[in-house]
Structures are given as structure tokens and as C-alpha cells.
Amino acid sequence: MSWDPSYRVEAVMRFIDRMTEKHGPIVHDVEGGTLDWGQALCRDLYGHDWSTNPSLPDEPPFSVHAVMARWTDGDLPGWMAAKDGEMA
């Protein structure tokens, strides 16, 4: 079963709002960089150099739901750095 890509975009936008409310708008990485939650999803799905990849899809892949579920449950990736004792 294939999901409508627009549903995935809407789900990602709701996820970004929830994570921003819970953790703030800035995601810090262990290298000292900063991202927003949408960029953080891209990094996790497509790799550290995701922004230089010209062949990224226009819509988020179905696997974005699994990543969002893990992060919502507090299972954040190791590349995210703690900020003032809290993740992200």
C-alpha cells in the first residue's frame, strides 16, 4: 500500500511542530552544528551531507514515519548533542 506523499509532508510538519514545542527549534549536533527539525530528519534519512545531494526526492520517503516515531518516543540519534543537559 502506498501512502499519498502529501500526507507524509503533513505528518512531517506536525512532527516538527511537536518536537519544536518539546525541545525547542534548534537541534545541535556533536560537531557543533545546528539544524532545525526538518533538516535533522533529512540528515538522519539521507546522511550527514544530505544538503549537497542533488538527487533527493521531493517528498519524504515512507521510512520517515519510523524515524519520527522513534524520536517522539525519546530515542534520539547519537549524532544529536545534549544542550544544557537535555537532548536537542
Helices marked H in 1-88: 5-23, 37-46, 64-72
7 or 87: which carries more pLDDT confidence?
7
Alpha carbons 88 and 41: distance in angstroms, whole number = 13
Residue 66 and residue 1: Cα distance in Å, rounded?
Answer: 16
Which pLDDT belongs to residue 52? 87
Q: Which amino acid is at 77?
A: P
Residue-wise pLDDT for 25-83, tens only, equals 999 999 999 999 999 999 998 888 888 887 877 777 778 889 999 999 999 999 998 66
**What is the distance between the alpha carbons of residues 1 and 11, in angstroms, rounded to a whole number?**
17
Query: Given this model, what pLDDT does residue 53 score?
Result: 82
Helix (H, G, I), strand (E, B) or coil at 86: strand
For the entire predicted model, the pTM comes to 0.80
Phi then psi for residue 62, to 5 deg, are -60, -35
